[in-house]
């Protein structure tokens, strides 16, 4: 839906009377350590326009095309060889430190190439709750983070992983990490002087909090957002509410001046660390909305954005286009003679906003709410503009021209439309980005699925996202891709499958495979649950004090580590066993007894209990620990230490009410 109000910028300028620019509000970040510890410059803001607008550029000598989704791209295939080599030593280190009893992991991984598992991590949607809870898991899995390799920790799992996928709020986490030089959660949480990255105490409706911040600064912030979107519109591209949402979001997620308007998602592919295979492969997920429809069903086409390509394995679209050239003049899969190439459309904030476009209405509601801190004259201006943009389709991100115009005409519902409409990746209930990771050609062995969904009355997950993916596997759109069986919501609750980690698809012999089919990955389900904080905050809570942010991140750490082994000292061994499970089957290796015990404890065995016991209200698994208590007990790091956590479990009393 094209913004037809040419007076937007004039209207805002007249209303706001800016006296200064926010150009200097956010300093460019200094170089960060990469995953190998080497200093290097941050990823380049490589949009040719130098701002938020896409630009027409000369096409390369071999013009980009849409390719069929009958395999991985040549770029990803070549990258996988590098990543496989780069993960061998981190995997050995991880397994050696955890030390599965009576099992020589070094010898096993060295023995043959097929022994090495392909590990993936998937971070669900759920707004800031998903970002913070997912951040706790990634911190626990990251060997760079303080205490992650201490007793009970999972540090090194991230370094041994091949894929890292995010959706909606989980996509904010994944996108922020990669747009900030694959920084650790600890680095992003602690920030740097003058930076607004991960500073959620000031909501995006207020803008970045800086010294001397005032209403004039806030007005300038919104004027700059509008000005950036205007750059795109003036360049001839339709704009939607997602452009505004993505731009505002970027101020919190990208540590660069004005939220990095020139940063692109495809620039990840040009980063030296990624290009050499030193970091996992990032994927963000969105859904396609068929023209003329307002409800997204399980038959919606699932699109992925990765560093090289954007597209879908689903038989509807069944094609991929280079992410760098996403808005080029494609027709029937090619750029015709005289057609133009375009770069910069894949702006990083816009891609993250696309995956989380459910929040477009959140933006509209909050800037116009009675208790909004946004100045009224700004509210009036922005609301008028956004209502023109949105109306009944305010959750859509517009991709125009449609890169899949004239492509796969028989089955592609958008093939005859110049615009491709994409929406939040969780609108089809598949709120965990599993779709890209269960594709057989990627050969993923295990997925650590971090679920921060708000399925119950009090915003806890109950496996809805898993059931949506499981049910979808029976439809034609699954294209023969299998998914592990999962039970109903009441069974999840009654068997505590949503209260602690659970494994699905453990026994590969239970899958009946047709010719050409492969068993799906083992699914390690990590649900959001109250370990040390009530992390069930609303999806649409717009701001969080740093203390609460840190508490939720730490709670995610405890979910990942089971309180650094406080709840189950064998849990790290079980994580290692899960990582190796499909590899054991592939190599015909006898499962070590310790692993068999883990699978007996954590694998869902098919038992069902569908009794409805009413509202689900879980209690603390360790203790309700405030930030002050954490500081006084010496647990200032993301996850604290095993001694501190053990002392809390034994000696600290749970408070009678939730912290927040």
Structure tokens at 313: 């394995």
State which H helix or E strand residue 523 sits in: strand 522-527
The residue-averaged pLDDT of 616-624 equals 90
Between CA 561 and CA 564 the distance in angstroms is 5
Percent of the chain predicted with pLDDT > 90: 68
pLDDT at 551: 97
Structure tokens at 346: 């894949």
3-state SS of 552-611 is HHHHHHHHHHCCCCCCCCCHHHHHHHHHHHHHHHHHCCCCCHHHHHHHHHHECCCCCCCC
pLDDT at 512: 87
Q: Write down the pLDDT at residue 394.
A: 59
Please check the confidence at residue 122 and state whether its pLDDT lies above 70.
yes
Residue whose C-alpha is closest to residue 136's, from 647, 563, 592, 493: 563
Residue 245's contacts (CB-CB under 8 Å, 6 or more residues apart) are 353, 356, 357, 359, 360, 362, 363
Nearest to 502 by CA among 459, 448, 460: 448
Q: How far apart are CA 301 and CA 131, in angstroms?
A: 24
Q: Could you tell me the pTM of the whole model?
A: 0.89
Taking only the tens place, the pLDDT of each residue in 490-544 is 999 999 999 999 999 999 989 988 887 889 999 999 999 999 999 999 988 889 9
**Tokens matching residue 378:** 């700004």
Which residues are paired to 322 by β-bridges?
Answer: 309
DSSP line for 351-366: HHHHHTTTHHHHHHHH
Across-strand partners of 310? 305, 321
Q: Tell me if residue 271 falls in helix, strand or coil.
A: coil
Token readout for 79 is: 């990258």
**């027709």: which residue's tokens?**
331
pLDDT tens digits along 290-341:
777 766 667 899 999 999 999 999 999 999 999 999 999 999 999 999 889 9
Lowest mean pLDDT among 206-215, 324-333, 617-626: 206-215
The pLDDT assigned to 218 comes to 72
Given a contact cutoff of 8 angstroms between Cβ atoms, the answer to whether 107 and 96 are in contact is: no
Largest CA-CA distance found in the chain, in angstroms, rounded: 74
Length of the chain: 660
> Mean pLDDT for the chain?
85
Task: Give the span between the Cα atoms of 61 and 63, in whole angstroms.
Answer: 6
Please give the pLDDT value at position 12. 35
Type and span of the H or E element at 81: helix 74-98
**Scanning the structure block, which residue is given the tokens 């698809």?**
505
* Angle CA 460–609–455, to nearest 5: 20
| Residue-wise pLDDT tens digits, 138-150 | 999 999 999 999 9
Contacts of 117 (CB under 8 A, 6+ apart): 91, 445, 446, 579, 580, 582, 583
Residue 456 tokens read as: 């119950």
The pLDDT of residue 89 is 97
- pLDDT for position 289: 86
In our burial notation (b when 16+ CB lie closer than 10 A, e otherwise), range 281-310 reads bbbbbbbbbbeeeeebebebbbbbbbbbbb
Confidence class for position 654, pLDDT limits 50, 70, 90: very low
pLDDT at res. 127 = 94
Whether the link from the prior residue into 42 is cis, omega within 30° of 0, is no
8 A C-beta contact, residue 517 and residue 441: no
Residue with tokens 């660390």: 273
Tokens of 472: 């979808």
């Amino acid at each position: 839906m094209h913004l037809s109000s040419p007076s937007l910028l004039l209207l805002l300028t007249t209303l706001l009377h800016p006296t200064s620019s926010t150009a200097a509000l956010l300093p460019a970040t200094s170089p960060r350590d990469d995953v190998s510890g080497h200093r290097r410059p941050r990823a380049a803001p490589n949009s040719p326009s130098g701002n938020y607008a896409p630009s027409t550029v000369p096409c390369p000598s071999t013009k980009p095309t849409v390719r069929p989704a009958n395999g991985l791209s040549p770029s990803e295939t070549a990258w996988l060889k590098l990543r496989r080599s780069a993960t061998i030593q981190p995997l050995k280190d991880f397994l050696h430190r955890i030390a599965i009893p009576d099992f020589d992991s070094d010898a096993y991984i060295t023995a043959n190439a097929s022994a090495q598992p392909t590990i993936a991590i998937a971070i669900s949607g759920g707004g800031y709750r998903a970002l913070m809870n997912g951040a706790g898991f990634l911190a626990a899995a990251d060997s760079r983070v303080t205490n992650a390799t201490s007793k009970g920790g999972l540090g090194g799992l991230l370094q041994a992983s091949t894929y890292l996928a995010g959706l909606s709020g989980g996509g904010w986490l994944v996108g922020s990490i990669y747009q900030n030089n694959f920084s650790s959660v600890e680095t992003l949480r602690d920030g740097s002087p003058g930076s607004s990255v991960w500073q959620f105490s000031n909501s995006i409706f207020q803008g970045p909090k800086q010294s001397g911040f005032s209403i004039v600064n806030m007005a300038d912030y919104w004027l700059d957002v509008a000005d950036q979107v205007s750059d795109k519109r003036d360049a001839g591209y339709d704009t939607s509410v997602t452009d505004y949402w993505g731009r505002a979001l970027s101020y919190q997620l990208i540590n660069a001046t004005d939220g990095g308007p020139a940063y692109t998602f495809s620039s990840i592919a040009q980063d030296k660390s990624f290009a050499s295979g030193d970091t996992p492969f990032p994927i963000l997920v969105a859904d396609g909305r068929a023209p003329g429809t307002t409800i997204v069903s399980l038959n919606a086409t699932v699109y992925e954005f990765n560093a090289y390509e954007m597209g879908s394995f689903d038989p509807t679209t069944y094609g991929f286009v280079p992410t760098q050239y996403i808005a080029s003049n494609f027709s029937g899969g090619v750029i015709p003679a005289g057609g133009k190439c375009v770069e910069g459309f894949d702006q990083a904030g816009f891609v993250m906003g696309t995956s989380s476009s459910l929040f477009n209405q959140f933006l509209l509601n909050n800037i116009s709410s009675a208790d909004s801190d946004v100045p009224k004259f700004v509210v009036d201006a922005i609301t008028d503009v956004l209502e023109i943009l949105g109306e009944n389709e305010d959750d859509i991100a517009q991709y125009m021209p449609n890169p899949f115009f004239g492509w796969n005409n028989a089955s592609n519902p958008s093939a005859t439309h110049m615009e491709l409409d994409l929406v939040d990746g969780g609108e089809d209930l598949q709120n965990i980005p599993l779709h890209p990771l269960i594709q057989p050609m990627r050969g993923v062995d295990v997925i650590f699925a971090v679920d921060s969904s708000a399925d119950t009355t009090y915003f806890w997950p109950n496996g809805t996202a898993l059931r949506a993916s499981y049910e979808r596997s029976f439809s034609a759109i699954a294209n023969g891709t299998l998914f592990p069986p999962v039970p109903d919501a009441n069974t999840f609750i009654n068997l505590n499958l949503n209260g602690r980690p659970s494994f699905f698809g453990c026994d590969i012999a239970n899958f009946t495979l047709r010719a050409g089919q492969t068993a799906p990955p083992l699914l390690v389900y990590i649900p959001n649950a109250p370990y040390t904080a009530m992390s069930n905050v609303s999806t649409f809570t717009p701001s969080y004090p740093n203390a609460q942010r840190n508490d939720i991140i730490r709670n995610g750490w405890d979910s990942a580590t089971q309180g650094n082994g406080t709840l189950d000292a064998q849990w790290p061994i079980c994580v290692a066993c899960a990582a190796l499970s499909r590899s054991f089957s592939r190599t015909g290796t006898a499962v070590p007894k310790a692993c068999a015990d883990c699978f007996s404890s954590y694998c869902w065995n098919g038992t069902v209990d569908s009794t409805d016991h009413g509202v689900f209200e879980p209690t603390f698994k360790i203790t309700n620990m405030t930030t002050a208590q954490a500081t006084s007990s010496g647990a200032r790091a993301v996850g604290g230490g095993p001694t501190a956590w053990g002392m809390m479990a034994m000696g600290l009393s749970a408070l009678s009410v939730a912290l927040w």
